[in-house]
Copies of this chain bind each other. A is one copy, B any other.
Amino acid sequence: MTSDDLDAIFKALADPTRRRIVDRLAARPRQSLFELCAGAVAEGQPAMSRQAVSQHLDVLERAGLVRVEWSGRTKLHALELGPLKAAQAAWLGRYLAEEAG
């Protein structure tokens, strides 16, 4: 866990659209790009272009927070919590409250 890794992780989480993508992938893993676009609309949020969502997913993927699996022509995305827990161990944990239960 280098300083650059922490940069990428915090930067990825610093955007509300990306945090919503994380939340949707936590609720249901293995979603395609189109499913994630539709999910935004389903939650009553402003529609996002496919390219915009794709670029957000790239940011999350480069931070290691999203893992990708191809199934034919469909790219399935799922949450990867390892880097976040590593960030907690490497830096964030010093400053966080101990989690209650």
A contact set with B: CB distance below 8 Å: 3-4, 6-7, 10-11, 13-16, 19, 22, 26, 79, 81, 84-85, 88-89, 91-99
Contact = CB atoms under 8 A, between A and B. Distances in A.
Count identical subunits in the complex.
2
Contacts of A4: 16
A3 to B, nearest CB: 5
A96 B91 contact: no
A42 B26 CA distance: 43
B16 A13 contact: no
A26 B96 CA distance: 12
B3 A7 contact: no
Contacts of A15: 7
